[in-house]
Amino acid sequence: MKAALASSLAYRPRLLVMDEPFSGLDPMVREDLIEGLLESAGETTIFVSSHDLAEIESFASHIGYLDRGRLQFSEEMSSLNDRFREVELTFAADPRKPTTLPASWTRLSTAGPVVRFIETRFDAETTHAAIRELFGEPKQISVSAMPLRSIFVAMARHQSRNS
């Protein structure tokens, strides 16, 4: 793999396309491959298609999500990380159940006084205002960043339910 990468980059291509480049590689070789990509790329755009989302997350600057051959989004990794959050609300008693939810909320679940959902357009002020409007004031709010794998699973499940 390293030899193939070196020979590909020797021609200084503007675009390098790699499909599942991490399959079957041990962790050290994977790390060497990623380092080689980052060091040798220069002005090359490297397009990596992979299901190994933890590896991609470790070095990607931009992420695109394809669903059934259609590009659902393409954005900077930092932007994607900023906008997706897992939210958990705890109330003193079972909260009222809203009839409608913001379009940016997905995977809402309730278990007694606890409400969980994924916010796909997180903005602290806007999200908290929507929570108070829909449920009242929670006793506790927990907001957590999501790894790329969790973001992908949430989006894939949301897409499959809306298809």
My answer on whether 49 and 86 are in the same domain is no
pLDDT score at 80: 92
My answer on whether 48 and 103 are in the same domain is no
Domain-embedded: residue 88: yes
* Buried-state track 21-42, b at ≥16 Cβ within 10 A, e below 16: bbeeeeeeebeebbeebeebee
Comparing C-alpha atoms, which of 49, 82, 83 is closest to residue 63? 49
Distance between CA atoms of 36 and 4, rounded to whole angstroms? 11
How many domains, in total, are found in the chain?
Answer: 2
Domain-embedded: residue 132: yes
Residue 39 belongs to a domain with what CATH number? 3.40.50.300
For the chain, 163 residues long, the average pLDDT of each consecutive 10-residue run is: 66 81 80 77 79 82 84 89 95 89 92 95 96 94 94 80 61
Domain ranges, residue 50:
2-60
Q: What is the pTM of this model?
A: 0.77
Q: E strands along the chain, which residues?
A: 15-19, 45-49, 62-67, 70-76, 85-90, 105-111, 114-119, 140-145
